[in-house]
Structure 1
């Protein structure tokens, strides 16, 4: 009996010791609180407070302006407290990032981060998150190159406002972050996801930016309930991402389809922009699509019909990438950077479309065996632009009032037949292009009718009609103008 009693006393002592150690360790895990303010606190500098802190400590920073660059290299919690004068301001003074997080498991809440702007050589940010598992909530990033820059993974970016930055929030080479309930306003780029994957992007608002939300060279990202309003280009994407129709551009849903087939036109009710990746036999018609990177974007999509749509103020009205055997007819594209764009696409037919007021109305790059029939491309820099494309048929098109009516650059064996090329500065420019056949065209009222290099072996048929041009023919040395043939990329870099 005594042995049992002795055992119970020893057990109770050990249990009590463990409980005390647990309480002590628990208190240590929460850490101490260090106060920062301009007068009367532990420190007047955030950097000094961080230097004195141990892992797990809390740094509380009161309202005021702190002209410094804050580097966090240990797990800490930084809380900005509005003591009557607004969020505490961390002002980088145009020299480096306002805050850089190197350590994992850092929390930053309630700061105004500004003036990380001006370097041509380095990437600066209001908050630069270079580590994993940090939490960035309820901050204001204003007047920076990047409001918040994320290069780490598994971070939470929530409830922040990014205003008047070049990039509001940018994720670069980053994975598995949660980017939710943030506001992007008056930035060049609101939310820019670059070479990043598997991020959750939900309930963000992009308002009055040049670009609202962009996915570039990024896959596996999951977007839902995001709203883009009043941006020059609300949304842009590419690649395999999961974007559902709860995402809205100017109040209308984004259709981001993958491996869809046999969909009729009423499948795209009230669409704001349409993406079709690896799709077959779709009908897209009678829609008004504006203010996006693409009005309609097809990637590896075939046997589809796009007709009677109105596309305006997009970067690209209709864009086909690696897409074959589609029929695009009777669409109107106005005030887009490029009206109709085909990249690495074959055997498509574009018929009776109108492209007005663009840098390039009809643009083919690396695209062969297409037919361009009875289209209009007017009031643009390039009415028709063929770059490194061959064996295409262009017939019955009206290319008028452009800087260049038809611009062929490194193009070969195209047949340009019975087109009206009227009142352009340059009617037809054959630039480093060979073995093209021009016949039966009406070329009139241009400053120069045809500019060509006689060594390039193009056929200028005797049945072309030349009327009232400043000069019907003007010889050039092709390679002196080769640089003009570099097409703009349809991806944002």
Structure 2
């Protein structure tokens, strides 16, 4: 019996202790100020703010939650000379359902962060940050989480992350002067359902060696650049949209590693996607439409990217452009109705492989390779383009195997001004000029087993100084309006 009474007493004491550990301190009912409540609070306590305006600067404590009942009606306004909220080594601290803003500054030169977090682990849930003169939220070190937050109209980035691990879900970063989100100095971010809109600079940036980002459902629109990954950072981007940005939708450069999947880039003022200066990675199932520049641009020596199942349409330049010494492969992609060519490779040092792509109704060529670039094109369809189906131009070298060039306004395939290589088992049918043509000195190719039929000029034609060579009988050159071979 005594043992049972002792056990019951211990349980009662534990219950009382637990209730004491989870106190709710209500402001202004129990305390006149939030600061006074925080001084009293211990780990496990909740400081609850009733709707109203609280003109204070706060310091978070470990294990303490500061929450409002309605973020729109519960505002903490701090003096502009210090962060509205400062959290230093605060483990397990939380801010919930609150709006944070700074009082008006006398000097516009001062840039003060609204919420400054150093180390520890802090959660911001359902909070808003308005019009900070500096960063909206600045995180340095530790592991933290933002959910359902809105950060806007700040003088620098809405969120800056440095040497910290941060998870961000369902947050908006809008109309900030310095950009939406900036992850740097070995910062790591996992983001889902983030919107970066109308920021004066970059919507979302990941920069520097050791910095990493895993982003899903990012919506970046009307920023200077939608997403920028640079200076050795790593990123994966999935199921995201980049719309109406003032330069590129997505820009990666300077020795970064990136994977881009299920992304839409639409209406950007330069390229939809630009990967350059040593970028390594993959682009899979993206749609790049109605951009002022190319849908996708890949550039510079050291850049190695594979594009698979991309759709590039209605761009005011090329659908896909590969230049300045990059090494790239384009597979199973569709490029239509672009004002340039469907796919273009150019420049000495550029090496490309194009396989199983469809390039239709572009204003220039279906596929083009020029300016001493080197490539292989296999099983591509080039149809109804305004110029050639495939153009091999300006001393470029190419191997063409099993491509189909149909109903193009000029030739099915043209080797132009020194373009050269090998063409094997290609079909050039119903083009408005010749099936295969050679134009200018130095333009030549080995032709084997090609089929050139029903073209409006010749099956094979030599023009403007191109050296006419004997075309082997293994090439089928029947039913062309002007004959088999023109010299």
TM-score range for the pair, normalised by the shorter chain length: 0.5 to 0.7
- Residue 172 of structure 1 corresponds to 161
1:90 equivalenced with 2:76 (yes/no):
yes
Question: Matched residues in 2 for 1:20 and 1:240: separation?
Answer: 55
| Residues 259 and 163 (structure 1), Cα distance of their counterparts in 2 relative to 1, 3 Å cut | closer
Conserved in 1, the CA contact under 8 Å of 2:227 and 2:251?
no
Deviation at 1:249, TM superposition (A): 0.7
Instruction: Report the Cα offset of residue 78 of structure 1.
Output: 0.5
Alignment counterpart, residue 53 of structure 1, candidates 41, 44, 55 = 41
Contact 1:297–1:319 at 8 Å: present in 2 too? yes
1:310–1:196 Cα change, 3 Å = farther
Give the TM-score, by structure 1 length.
Answer: 0.53
Residues 160, 181 of structure 1: 8 Å contact kept: yes
**Which consecutive unaligned segments of at least 5 residues does structure 2 have?**
267-271, 330-337, 341-346, 352-370, 374-393, 395-487
Give 3-state SS (helix, strand or coil) of 1:181's partner.
strand
1:295-346 C-alpha deviation (Å, 9 max, x unpaired): 64557325989xx999899xxx99989x65689xxx999xxxxxxxxxxx99
Q: 1:181 & 1:89 partners in 2: Cα distance?
A: 21
| Contact 2:288–2:313 (CA under 8 A) maintained in structure 1 | yes
Asked if the contact 2:219/2:240 (under 8 Å) is kept, the reply is: yes
2:217 maps to 225
**Contact persistence 2:199–2:222 (CA under 8 A):** yes
Q: Shift of residue 77 of structure 1?
A: 0.9
Distance 1:312 1:47, change over 3 A: farther
Equivalence for 1:105: 92
Give the helix-richer structure, 1 or 2.
Answer: 1
Q: TM-score, normalised by structure 2?
A: 0.53
* Aligned counterpart, 1:131: 119
> Residue 188 of structure 2 aligns to a residue in which SS?
coil
Q: 2:66 aligns with which of 66, 72, 78?
A: 78
Distance 1:247 1:326, change over 3 A: closer
**Which residue pairs with 1:435 in the alignment?**
none
Which residue of the other structure, out of 55, 65, 83, is the alignment partner of 1:67?
55
SS of residue matched to 2:16: helix
Q: In structure 2, which of residues 10, 15, 19 is the aligned counterpart of residue 23 of structure 1? A: 15
C-alpha change, 1:207 and 1:248, in structure 2 (3 Å) is: same
Correspondence list, 1:58-457, <5 A = 58-82=46-70, 86-102=72-88, 103-115=90-102, 124-144=112-132, 145-188=134-177, 189-210=179-200, 211-217=202-208, 219-238=211-230, 239-250=232-243, 271=265, 273-274=272-273, 277-278=279-280, 290=291, 296=297, 300-302=302-304, 324=326, 347=349
Taking a change above 3 Å as real, the CA distance of residues 87 and 192 of structure 1, as seen in their structure-2 partners, is farther
Partners of 1:117 and 1:143 within 8 A in 2: no
**Residues 18/311 of structure 1: CA separation in 2 closer, same or farther (3 Å cut):** farther
1:148 is displaced (CA, Å) by 1.3
For the Cα contact (< 8 Å) 2:225–2:251, is it kept in 1? no
Task: Report the 3-state secondary structure (helix = DSSP H, G, I; strand = E; otherwise coil) of the residue aligned with 1:48.
Answer: helix
Q: Aligned in 2, Cα 1:174/1:139: closer, same or farther, shift over 3 Å?
A: same
Q: Distance in 1 between matches of 2:112 and 2:93?
A: 19
Work out the CA distance in 2 between the residues paired with 1:298 and 1:93.
48
Q: Secondary structure at the match of 2:203?
A: strand
Residues matched between the structures, number? 322
| Alignment deviations for residues 226-276 of structure 1 (CA, whole Å, 9 cap, x no partner) | 11122232111134534233011129996989589xxxxxx9996554365
Provide closer, same or farther for how the CA distance between residues 92 and 286 of structure 1 changes in structure 2, counting only shifts above 3 A.
closer
